[in-house]
A and B are shown apart, each in its own frame.
Chain A
Amino acid sequence: MNLFKIAWRSVQQRRLSSALTGLSMALGVALVVIVLVILNTVEDTFRKNSGSWDMILGAKGSKLQVVLNTVYHLSTPVENVPYSFYKEWETKFQSPIFVSQLGNVAVIPVCMGDSYQGHRVVATIPRMFQVPYAGNLEYEFAAGRAFKDIPGNNEAVAGSVAAHKLGLKVNDKIRPAHGISDETDLKDHDAFTVVGVLAPTGTPNDRAIFINMESFYLQEGHALSEELANQRAQQNGQSRSQDDNKEPTNEDQSQDSGDQGGGNQDAGEQATASNRHWNVRPVAFTENTLQEQEDGQSHAGHGQAEALPEELREVTAILIRFDPEQTALSSMYSMKMVKDINKGNVAQAVLPLKEITDLFNTFIGPLKGLLMFLAVLIVVVAGIGIMVGIYNTMNDRRRDIAVMRALGAGQVTVMAVILFESLILAVGGGLFGFLLGHVAVGIVSSSISGTTGVEIPMWFLTWQEMVLLPGLVILAALAGFWPALSAYRTDVSKSLTATP
């Protein structure tokens, strides 16, 4: 019979108190696991995804909101920037001099504000699927292909999670709605045909549905009215003229920001912001398309319609990824871009990695530290519980220890039995807590996914969890040491002659 079995028998002998002590340890460890898994996964995913794009050009306002909205498909949509602004930068980066200096820079426009059954619909160009994500990973299609950017072909590509949850397959039809809230009176657009389903990427794009931008512009409410377009053109012209003539002062900057903020407030609740971004348009359809509309049919999957004139277009944001082989020049140029663009009134340049790092360093990091401290404190308290639990039984067990000593067990042997007992309670409780924590993660992961877009697999393991086992062994040794010392010091003769 080994010492471990002797200790196990002792644990069995006090079933209730052992179970309660082990449970307190389990709850503490489960809390540690939950905090570690959820916060680490969320943080890793956010940091990884923020690295997909080097810069985002979006409307003036909250930088974090620009990042959350365009990269993570969270929060409410931001204001739009002129389509000409996108073309300006696209043209610039495609010019021979820029290509020779900065290499191949990806400039991807996105239009947001639509949704389909709770999933964000992102209008973009097919090239987006050729730009590596989360570092250097390539998009792959589980089925089908990327959409073609032909006006009126109404093609869509579903992210893996969206396709799974909505049961979407290639050739299925979807009708995106205008707006992103759960309102039931959202106005449906024309039908789009799913032509591809993305393989899982582990990014928020898994939850999104992508449609081709040219068809997006042809949907109702996605074009500027002629009047508004002229007004915007004038404003942009003046703004650029001012930007060209003078360096903006701090007052100008704050005034600009204030105007923007005021604009937001005037527009009312953010939840309805998207409805205001895309204004009623007079769209010029081809004859075929108009005929289809009159027949009450969608123009999905059919011939080419006439593209929306560029002056009637806006984009929500422009995602930029520099050539990874030109990092030194790219980072220098991106700093210049940020400075130049942020001086103007048209848009702002946001560095997603910086925004996410700031977010985590400012809010999530300290919160994580606090939660970890509390969780570890609970484990330590559970360890003290084990110590007190075993120590309180020592008076009752003194005779048993004395008997073992009389049978030839040495002082170190009885000490080891008590330490094993502490180990069983701490490690046994800890392993149960480990399972409990991961099951709890599995239960709450869908809710977290819905809120943050981060998919957390139930059995996602963090490296810190690998420290749990040796940590628990050390804790068990510390918790068991005092009672073990008491066993070591047991006066055998006195305990044997004491009245039972």
Chain B
Amino acid sequence: MLQLKDVRKSFSEPGGGVLPILDVPEFELGAGEQMVLVGRSGSGKTTLLHIIAGISRADSGQVIINGLDICPMPEAGRDMFRAQHMGYVFQTFNLLPAFTALENVLLGMTFGRMRTDRQRAHSLLDRVGLSHRLNHKPSELSVGEQQRVSVARALSNRPKLLLADEPTANVDPGNQQQIVDLIRETCREEGVSLLMVTHADDVAEQFDRVDHLNELNRQSQAHSDPKKKSP
């Protein structure tokens, strides 16, 4: 489903130098597989997710999704590919404040040249337990409810790959497990591959596969504390 080969990314520094962030020689995620990627802050987890999603372009290497390398694609092509094949759950939910819960979910189907399926949006919101909050705006929802809407939105376009960037980081402890269960169950039901980035050990412990970015990333190995986190 997802393959990374020699993916490298660096950023320009204000002084004119170059700061290498990522150097991932190899990474794979199977179809329908669920895994967690852990790593310390600033290790490049979000950058890696952005590269996989096509939001950022890798300096070099290949990001192969469903057999297609998205790196050579122009930005518009990557946008369309993302709209049609990927879902993204953000740490800060990132619901659009002007839209209702239902409209936020519909928005996830809008940009991929696919038919806006209101029935699916209703069904997803029902699945995340928010069928009674369809017309509520984000400001009228609790934090946990907002993240559940965000999960429904990420799945609205029937993605093959769901990227979740610390989805429980801003959710109160009572709701954290619900969110994780929800993401995992819906991904399982829809046959979606899941790559979740998290800091939370208790979350990581629930997954069969836990990768450490420090181990994947040659840059981390070169600059960071060699201490590894156990699953």
Contact = CB atoms under 8 A, between A and B. Distances in A.
Contacts of B46: 497
Contacts of B107: 1, 6, 404, 407
B80 interface: yes
A493 interface: yes
A304 interface: no
Interface in A1-41: 1-2, 6, 9-10, 12-13
A461 interface: no
B111 A407 contact: yes
A366 interface: no
A496 B76 CA distance: 18
A411 B78 CA distance: 11
A13 B108 CA distance: 20
B56 A1 contact: no
B110 A400 contact: no
Counting chain A CB atoms within 10 Å of each CB, the highest count among B75, B88, B107, B108 belongs to B107
Interface of A: 1-2, 6, 9-10, 12-13, 399-400, 403-413, 492-493, 496-497, 500
A interface majority secondary structure: helix
B97 interface: yes
B84 interface: yes
B96 interface: yes
Interface of B: 46-47, 50, 53, 55-56, 75-76, 79-80, 82-84, 86, 88, 90, 92, 94, 96-99, 103, 106-112, 116, 153, 157
B interface majority secondary structure: helix
Contacts, number: 80
Contact of B53 (A12, A406, A497): A406
Given A9-B103, A400-B96, A496-B90, A407 B108 contact: yes
Contacts of B56: 492-493
Contacts of B112: 408
Nearest to B103: A1
Contact of B82 (A399, A400, A408): A408
10 contacts: A1-B116, A403-B90, A408-B79, A408-B157, A410-B75, A411-B76, A413-B79, A492-B56, A493-B50, A497-B46
A6 B103 CA distance: 9
Contacts of B98: 9-10, 12-13, 400
Contacts of B86: 408
A407 B75 contact: no
A404 B98 CA distance: 13
B92 A500 contact: yes
A247 B55 CA distance: 95
